[in-house]
Structure 1
Amino acid sequence: AWAVLGAAYVARSARTADAADLPRAERALGTSLKTRAAKNTEALAGMTALANARRDFAAAKRYGEQALKLTPKRWSAYPPLIDAYNGLGDYTAARSTLDKLMALRTAPADRPAVMARASAVYRDRGWREDALAQLTDAAAAAGTPAEQAAYRAGVGQLAWERGELPEALAQFTEALRLDPAEATAGTGKARTLAAQGRTADALTAYDEALAKRPDAEVTLELAELYESLHRTQDAEAQYELVRKRAEKAASDGVDEELLLGRLEADHGDPQEAVTRLRAEYRRQPGIEVADALGWALHRAGEDEEALKFATTATDKTKGGGVRSALHDFHRGMIEYELERYGSARRQLEDALLVNPAFSPLWAPEARAALTDMGEVTGGPLPADVL
């Protein structure tokens, strides 16, 4: 009973973005483990989910491996461990664990969740079409409207990442019709409307999404949209709200260094961002942290070192296979500052080809840099993007 209660607290925290439930989950799961220390797979699974929610991927790996050892044929033991490996930058282990998951015999009702997990790993490898196929099949086979909505939102996110705005909006809208509480769809709809220039609709959609789930990262998106519109006072209010929400989550045990590092790099103190993100990278050297640290170093004027991390974030051999317009933009701007114009041009063009509207704040910066270098982006997508 204690393990079930703890898992419920973790799940509610994910739905509401209220990290106050996480200490409650920790107490319940800890009580379960004290009551039954041996072979308590439910509590170990709960502790894995809790650690992932707090971005404590080392702990998630530890608990997840214990849970998997006890129940190697239970499919639900695999996805949280894959998340932990990804967070630690161990992409080889993540892919190996996915292969084992895909080899399991799972019940028809569980197959959509397995396909969705495969889609996420394929996306991270840069296998966009495989990721889309898995997620589309998952949506078609989903057993409940809420599950179908979640998978539809994922399809919308893949479309957004490719700059396919009408398809993204259609998927997000359908997801919200199926489940009005689907948080990813609400945010995705707002983001897509902003990219289409429907600013008033986008601001309304952001407000609706944040009313349902007041997430700090989504708040940062809204703040940057306000800044792109030159609504400085509104932007500053949202940036302050990002900080408050992140610090509140941190007080409940969530590692918010990545988000706070990003905030400081672009809208605060870049040197503080570097300090935060260096420490985070030592703990958890994943691709997202490498990209953020490289960008923070650039903003702090350390472009030679910045390029090392930006290269890691975009190098397929180091795990950076995901096609991210933002990562390409970061690397391109670093190389632009270093006067490596050939490579800078390729990276910035790639960013705008992958998703011309990847950011209301930074996409115009990419175009300005290309114009300064005497190039105008255009033409078909290169083969390695397809």
Structure 2
Amino acid sequence: MRLRMLITVPLAAALLFGLGALAGRTGSTTETAFGSADRPTAKLPAAIAAYQDRLRKVPGDWTTWAALGSAYLEQARATADPSYYPKASGALDKSLAVRPGNALALTGLGALANARHDFTAARGLAQQALAADPYSGTAYGVLADASTQLGLAAEATDAVQHMLDLQPGLASYTRGSYDLEQHGRRTDAIELMRKALTAATEPADIAFCHQHLAALAWAAGDVATASSEITLGLAADGAVAGLWQLKSRVDAAAGDLAAALTDLDKVVARTPTVDALVEQARMLTAAGRDPAPALSLAEAAHKLFVANGGTDDLGASALAMAAGRPAEAVELARREWDRRQFAEVADAVAWSLHTAGRSAEAVPYIQKAEALGQLDPTVAFHHGMIALAAGDRVTARLQLQLALSLNPHFNPIDAPVATRTLAGLG
């Protein structure tokens, strides 16, 4: 059975897929540096040292230059430290200088472009890599990541399918699961991720699978299953920041904001990303505490990302929104939309327009955010509030009901607003 068929029929037959990191499953989908099932984080420093030692002895080994570049990129992902990006770029460029046009280096540069959020460049590099090696499953993975973020849904599904055909394994499983989720097939996505869990052997990979099973359960409002998956994931590897980020949401749903903030302290200590720090700021606000320190750190994280070759107007828009600057947020989100028509970006444009008092302009964007069929309580909440401000009480009622039916605890600030607003609609 093929992934294209999974979009339209139930997942009944066994699929031999595998695991990879899902962009932003616990937060922003702009975090697209996909994890490697082949190189667990704990082994990265030793791998990097081995590659460096090999290159001192054989400086013309283009395959090791490519491997070193990819290892630096994985280290950047694992540590949320973009200062590894220039190192990755240097090693991958050296591989190309030694062996022009080699698919390994082009694929690595494509993955680096994805991590820097230059998805158009990543797509082009992946296509170049596939021209050099049409049988590279890894290059198809890079293409799938870029196409997804560019809003090229059919191309992304096709790339995932090629990856599955050529390189069945953990990275393929997760991309397949994510693609299904994007099309609103959450049940199939869960079943496929459970198959990935049976294939995982490294503690970090096992924890990763539990993390995304927890995220899928949380998005559906199944707090008990999400909590169970988080516990299993932390038992496998307690250093996975994404699990602590999800745990903070479960703790907040139980009304324990102090525990939720403690969880987020662990997250930002391990991976101080803009996404995590903005979430921490919102949780501090929900707890009646000052969010300014978290927002200040988020600004610093964004500047560091940009200084190392990244582009993230979506993250900058989220920062502006959190800091109470909706007009600036609109400009930044629209700039991101000009580069890529992805659902998350459409939602950001819509919500910033609504917050800036321009709800009628927001309506077509929030509809674009839902176009593929993914069921997201936050997007449904945004749609409901935008519709109400635009004078469409029927749509407002339906969308707010949807948000709360998907997950009545989806956000400690927004969920109570949805409940009160829905009650006011009668």
Q: TM-score, normalised by structure 2?
A: 0.82
Within-5 A mapping of 1:1-386: 1-38=64-101, 40-104=102-166, 106=167, 110-231=168-289, 233=290, 235-315=291-371, 319=372, 321-374=373-426
Per-residue Cα deviation, 1:333-354 (whole angstroms, up to 9, x for no partner): 1101112000011011101111
Corresponding residue SS for 2:238: coil
Identical positions, percent? 35
Aligned-residue offset at 1:99: 2.5
Aligned-residue offset at 1:9: 1.1
Corresponding residue SS for 1:238: helix
Aligned-residue offset at 1:75: 2.3
Aligned-residue offset at 1:149: 1.2
For 1:16, the aligned partner's letter is T
In 2, distance between residues paired with 1:130 and 1:16?
Answer: 31
In 1, distance between residues paired with 2:114 and 2:138?
Answer: 14
- Indicate if the aligned counterparts of 2:160 and 2:176 stay in contact, CA closer than 8 A: yes
For 1:278, the aligned partner's letter is R
Per-residue Cα deviation, 1:219-251 (whole angstroms, up to 9, x for no partner): 1111101111221x2x12212221221122111
Ranges of 4+ aligned residues in structure 1 off by more than 6 Å: none
Per-residue Cα deviation, 1:179-229 (whole angstroms, up to 9, x for no partner): 122222121112221222122222211111221222221111111011112
- Segment of structure 1 superposing worse, 206-215 or 94-103: 94-103
- Indicate if the aligned counterparts of 1:247 and 1:256 stay in contact, CA closer than 8 A: no
For 1:15, the aligned partner's letter is A
In 2, distance between residues paired with 1:201 and 1:298?
Answer: 32
- Indicate if the aligned counterparts of 2:221 and 2:408 stay in contact, CA closer than 8 A: yes
Structure richer in helix, relative to its length: 1
For 2:347, the aligned partner's letter is D
- Segment of structure 1 superposing worse, 121-130 or 199-208: 199-208
- Segment of structure 1 superposing worse, 185-194 or 343-352: 185-194
Corresponding residue SS for 2:94: helix
Structure 1: runs of 5 or more not aligned: 375-386
In 1, distance between residues paired with 2:280 and 2:207?
Answer: 23
Structure 2: runs of 5 or more not aligned: 1-63
Q: Relative to 1, partners in 2 of residues 1:216 and 1:266: Cα closer, same or farther, differing over 3 Å?
A: closer
Output the aligned Cα RMSD. Answer: 1.4
In 2, distance between residues paired with 1:112 and 1:18?
Answer: 24
For 2:179, the aligned partner's letter is V
In 2, distance between residues paired with 1:291 and 1:74?
Answer: 34
- Indicate if the aligned counterparts of 1:165 and 1:196 stay in contact, CA closer than 8 A: no
- Indicate if the aligned counterparts of 2:282 and 2:322 stay in contact, CA closer than 8 A: no
In 2, distance between residues paired with 1:328 and 1:155?
Answer: 21
In 2, distance between residues paired with 1:208 and 1:17?
Answer: 13
Per-residue Cα deviation, 1:247-294 (whole angstroms, up to 9, x for no partner): 221111122210111221343311111111111111111111111001
Aligned-residue offset at 1:29: 1.3
Corresponding residue SS for 1:126: coil
In 1, distance between residues paired with 2:422 and 2:96?
Answer: 57
Q: TM-score, normalised by structure 1?
A: 0.91
Corresponding residue SS for 2:100: coil
In 2, distance between residues paired with 1:172 and 1:72?
Answer: 38
Q: Which has the higher contact order (CA 8 A, sep 6+)?
A: 2
- Indicate if the aligned counterparts of 1:335 and 1:341 stay in contact, CA closer than 8 A: yes
Corresponding residue SS for 2:169: helix
- Indicate if the aligned counterparts of 1:348 and 1:366 stay in contact, CA closer than 8 A: yes
Corresponding residue SS for 1:357: coil
- Segment of structure 1 superposing worse, 49-58 or 363-372: 363-372
For 2:315, the aligned partner's letter is L
In 2, distance between residues paired with 1:62 and 1:254?
Answer: 17
For 1:82, the aligned partner's letter is A
In 1, distance between residues paired with 2:323 and 2:182?
Answer: 28
- Indicate if the aligned counterparts of 2:257 and 2:287 stay in contact, CA closer than 8 A: no
- Indicate if the aligned counterparts of 2:248 and 2:264 stay in contact, CA closer than 8 A: yes
In 2, distance between residues paired with 1:237 and 1:44?
Answer: 40
Q: How many residues align?
A: 363
In 1, distance between residues paired with 2:282 and 2:189?
Answer: 29
In 1, distance between residues paired with 2:261 and 2:174?
Answer: 30
Q: Relative to 1, partners in 2 of residues 1:362 and 1:267: Cα closer, same or farther, differing over 3 Å?
A: farther
Counterpart position of 2:31: none
